[in-house]
Amino acid sequence: MAPAPSKDPKPRPGAILPKQLLAANVRAGRALLDLSQQDLAERMSALGLQWSRPTVSQVERASRAVSIDELFGLAHALEVDILMLLSAPEGSRTVVDTGLPKTLQPAAVKGMLTHDSPHRPYVTWQENRPINVQSPATMPTAQEVADELGIDVRELPT
């Protein structure tokens, strides 16, 4: 006997599912970088993920699941921290709900959906191809950048 097809979980009234939050954040990230859906598809393909413009459209409509590898790829392609793709904008009234019974929702889910981490690789893009990737450990400090540019940080406005 074949299992019954699974239905999408339903969030509580006034809330959205994590995949809807991801969809909105992908759209917003693409808009901030002034990327077309085709541009994002090319960036994802450059990372080794076979994406097309329709794939981007499906993700932005929350009608296609995203694998963990694709989630990491989206973070790189959109130049954001992976947790930013899963977080409601700071100060927003967006409520994210897994649709699972409350007893099955670990406290970590709430933290994951609201956490903003500074620990993301910095990717430099040229013609929708990554040309340089720096991990946070290898990124220059503010002082190193100031020294390279010949700026005295004491003269910078605070």
For 12-65, write each residue's pLDDT tens digit: 777 788 888 899 999 999 999 999 999 999 999 999 999 999 999 999 999 999
Q: Give the residue-averaged pLDDT of 84-94.
A: 77
| Residue 104, pLDDT above cutoff 90 | no
Q: Which helix (H) or strand (E) holds 123?
A: strand 122-126
Question: pTM for the whole thing?
Answer: 0.62
Q: Provide the Cα torsion 130, 133, 139, 145; round to 10°.
A: -30
6 domain residue, yes or no = no
Quote the number of domains for the chain.
1
Residue 115 sits in which domain range?
Answer: 18-97+108-147
The string of DSSP letters for 129-147 reads EEEEEE-TTTSPPHHHHHH
4 domain residue, yes or no = no
More confident residue, 145 or 156: 145
5 domain residue, yes or no = no
72 domain residue, yes or no = yes
